[in-house]
Structure 1
């Protein structure tokens, strides 16, 4: 069956046949030790892929162009998921914009250029929902891209990811390859970064409330007002969605991946406090930034492609807290 995905770009003439990827094909997961990459690796292994390839940042610096090309020349992957990126929360993004822009641009360009040279058949580029305008209409549709100003606390990271989307579209137009992009909402789950300075909001809250519960603290202080609304997707759901898109979706437009439901930061903080057993009070430091007021993705394109999220938020939080406690001595600090 040949998919004919509607597109506003008449220059995109890619032919793609929907169906299972070859389980014996060499599959490179860039960033296989990160939150998303490790979940994708687990999913692919469970689905019977027998030739998975991954390299740690110590073994392969994706910012080193020569090293990346040498790696592709050696392994010649048939499939690639580009999940490697420099990531962080509001504080890290706002403090080190040069690092987030430069590092991510180099990683993306090196991997995508090498994948093109060595004939990667199917590639999925992963971005972030922060690519959309700060005040985009909610829920955010894919066609909201480049229609307004970005959130200033993470604009450098967002610009890098937007460049990746455009490079995927350019490869499709110029070379006719069925490469695609997916933009996940806020992710959480096993393998996350729980460091105080570098983590995103949900793992930061898990650590903060769990520490408070263990230490018998009477209160916890969080950034901002607690009113911004956020959508959260378990990373195992994300991994399943990635494989589904690789096997069933084709088109130049990025695909939003999320649940289609959001909660306030205050609500998620209360839920985490309950899950970890914290019984004290929560204070809010309103001198600290809130970030984007709301970020809820329109996931109708994903639903049309035949996939919806399955993992309940509270159940996902419970399993994530259990994982965090089981790995407290070895996780990223």
Structure 2
């Protein structure tokens, strides 16, 4: 099997490469952004024609936290729409029979019932701060669904929860909450600071899954003869932001005080995926949050030491 993993230099793509690198009978196809611009339609179509992959995982995309999504919405919708369209349509033109498109839990409505089931998609308004990204991801998963319906190819989608792990983006402003916390507490520890600020009350609940668990779920889904068009991938459990912040501080070794600023926004009170569909098919995550945090902080230190820290 010739497997093309788009976005292999990112956190999710890197986890997929680790998962499939030693899989018997799998030949990995990867390209950096300099080697293949996925927003360039003709370049993507030429790649498919030349390399002839059997299976494609679309893990590439422009991603970021609330600040980045809110500041650069035009870039987020344009680039993610182009990547989805080019990768999916190009795969069909190139004769690819199997494709897995990776979305995000932010595709679900802002006020979706908790935990969020797959059938709540498009049932009400999206969270405004990441609407541009969410719309692009919804378009991609619907494109996969409709190509399957019209052309008979097995194109399907997985919606992961909040992810973390090796190779994450640790940018001070544009990163997601987990890498932002790891970097903040690490730098505070190194500087000997007495306290670290934290936004909000700490009461909202969030779900976090290690990227290696997502990669394992992707391998599982690709083995299914008739996978669901759309399936949630998560842990089925969540933590309060306060619990998460305290755990990150403990793993990093920060001994100071955490100061909560309740004047800052909390965001949605809860975002938890309903993973009963995937669980019923026979898959469960394996990496606990405690183990995952320890592994991620160790990789952060190694990436920093090697001068390869993203962000």
**TM superposition shift of 1:156:** 0.7
Q: Is the 8 A contact 2:221 2:227 kept in 1?
A: no
What is the total number of aligned residue pairs between the two structures?
309
CA distance in 2 between counterparts of 1:100 and 1:250 reads 32
- Alignment partner of 1:248 is 2:206: no
Runs of 4+ in 1 over 4 A off after TM superposition: none
Q: How does 1:1-333 map to 2 (within 5 A)?
A: 25-248=1-224, 250-328=226-304, 329-333=307-311
**TM superposition shift of 1:252:** 5.0
**TM superposition shift of 1:251:** 4.3
Q: Is the 8 A contact 2:189 2:255 kept in 1?
A: yes
Which deviates more, 48-57 or 229-238?
A: 48-57
Q: Is the 8 A contact 2:155 2:229 kept in 1?
A: no
Once the two structures are superposed, what CA deviation does each residue of 1:215-272 show, in whole Å capped at 9, x if it has no partner? Answer: 1111111233322211000111110000100102634531000000000111100001
CA distance in 2 between counterparts of 1:211 and 1:250 reads 47
Which deviates more, 216-225 or 316-325?
A: 216-225
CA distance in 2 between counterparts of 1:247 and 1:255 reads 14
Which deviates more, 47-56 or 136-145?
A: 47-56
**TM superposition shift of 1:203:** 0.6
Where do 5+ consecutive residues of structure 2 fail to align? Answer: none
Q: CA RMSD in A?
A: 1.2
Which deviates more, 242-251 or 271-280?
A: 242-251
CA distance in 1 between counterparts of 2:35 and 2:263 reads 42
Q: Is the 8 A contact 1:171 1:177 kept in 2?
A: yes
**TM superposition shift of 1:284:** 2.8
CA distance in 1 between counterparts of 2:25 and 2:299 reads 25
CA distance in 2 between counterparts of 1:267 and 1:103 reads 35
Structure 1 pair 224/97, CA: closer, same or farther in 2 (3 Å)?
farther
**TM superposition shift of 1:164:** 0.8
**TM superposition shift of 1:288:** 3.8
TM-score by length of 1: 0.90
**TM superposition shift of 1:330:** 1.4
Once the two structures are superposed, what CA deviation does each residue of 1:295-314 show, in whole Å capped at 9, x if it has no partner? Answer: 10110111111100010101
Structure 1 pair 294/209, CA: closer, same or farther in 2 (3 Å)?
same
Where do 5+ consecutive residues of structure 1 fail to align? Answer: 1-24
